[in-house]
């Protein structure tokens, strides 16, 4: 009778994803590009290289289906990033000025300087939003340059976004609200998210041509 209980406890244990020194638990979307071309570690903090010519999202090495992800994040003034989950595909995009980007196609927990043009453009683009689809209930992110905490919960069809201890968004896959938002989108990725063929996927820290930082990244499966 004790063995199942011990197994459950083990399954619920937190796993440190970022050790403060290396990128050992991460990879690029292609699996061929060294993520160090776009990301580096300094003083125990994970930073994006905003000037990188080859910009790659940072994927977890492992895949997850039901999980809680917690981390701290900080954006520079005007910066924009996000956490991609339920990733259906990845793509290699050629951006302006000859920059190449390995990007993730999935749902995005938006993280941005809310006072920037990107943050002010739409309620669907502020920190905590399901980017392009669902707005957060409140704005809880601190000003650019300050550290924030975040929590992402994926539990079956139930999704939650938390910022600085406040749940700013809760929604269900297949809900009328999300279905309508996806149907209204002109993005090709919305059609993939409607089908949701992939339920166990990597999790991506987005590189968005700007300086962002992460630390204290941990995860536990549910």
pTM beyond 0.85, yes or no? yes
Domains of the chain, with CATH numbers? 15-221 (2.60.120.560)
Q: Could you give the C-alpha distances from 106 to 74, 166, 190, 197, in angstroms and in order? A: 22, 23, 9, 11
Q: What is the pLDDT of residues 159-187, one digit of tens each?
A: 999 999 999 999 999 999 999 999 999 98
Percent of the chain with pLDDT over 90: 90
What are the pLDDT digits (tens) for 31-52? 999 999 999 999 999 999 999 9
On whether the CB atoms of residues 69 and 84 are closer than 8 A, the answer is no
Q: Would you state the pLDDT for residue 10?
A: 46
Note the pLDDT of residue 5.
Answer: 43
pLDDT, residue 8, reads 42
What's the pLDDT band for 7 if we cut at 50, 70, 90?
A: very low
Whether residue 198 contacts residue 86, with contact meaning beta carbons closer than 8 Å, is answered with: yes
User: pLDDT at position 11, please?
Assistant: 52
In 10 A of CB 27, how many CB atoms? 19
The DSSP element (H or E) to which 194 belongs, if any, is helix 188-195
What's the start-to-end Cα distance of the chain, in Å? 21
2 falls in which pLDDT band (50, 70, 90)? very low
Q: HEC profile for 86-140?
A: EEEEEEEEECHHHCEEEEEEEEEEEEECCCCHHHHCCHHHCCCCECCCECCCCCC
Is pLDDT at 1 greater than 80 in this prediction? no
Query: Is the Cβ–Cβ distance between 138 and 167 less than 8 Å?
Result: no
Q: What average pLDDT score do residues 83-97 get? A: 92
- Asked if residues 103 and 91 have their Cβ atoms less than 8 Å apart, the reply is yes
**Side-chain half-sphere CA neighbours of 57 within 13 A:** 28
Distance (Å) of CA 28 to CA 47, 52, 141, 206, 214: 15, 14, 27, 11, 17
């Amino acid at each position: 009778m004790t063995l199942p209980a011990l197994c459950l406890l083990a399954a619920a244990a937190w796993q440190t994803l970022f050790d403060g020194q290396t990128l050992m638990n991460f990879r690029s979307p292609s699996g061929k590009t060294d993520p160090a071309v776009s990301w580096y570690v300094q003083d125990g903090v994970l930073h994006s290289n905003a000037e990188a010519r080859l910009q790659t999202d940072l994927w977890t090495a492992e895949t997850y289906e039901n999980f809680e992800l917690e981390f701290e994040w900080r954006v520079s003034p005007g910066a924009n990033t996000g956490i991609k989950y339920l990733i259906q595909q990845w793509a290699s995009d050629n951006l302006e000025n000859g920059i190449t980007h390995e990007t993730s196609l999935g749902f995005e927990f938006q993280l941005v300087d809310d006072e920037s043009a990107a943050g002010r453009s739409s309620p669907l683009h502020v920190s905590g939003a399901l980017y392009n689809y669902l707005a957060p209930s409140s704005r809880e992110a601190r000003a650019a340059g300050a550290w924030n905490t975040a929590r992402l919960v994926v539990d079956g069809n139930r999704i939650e976004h938390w910022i600085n201890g406040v749940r700013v968004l809760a929604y269900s896959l297949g809900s009328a609200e999300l279905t309508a938002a996806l149907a209204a989108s002109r993005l090709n990725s919305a059609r993939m998210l409607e089908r949701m063929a992939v339920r166990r996927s990597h999790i991506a820290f987005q590189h968005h041509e700007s300086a962002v930082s992460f630390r204290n990244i941990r995860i536990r499966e549910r």
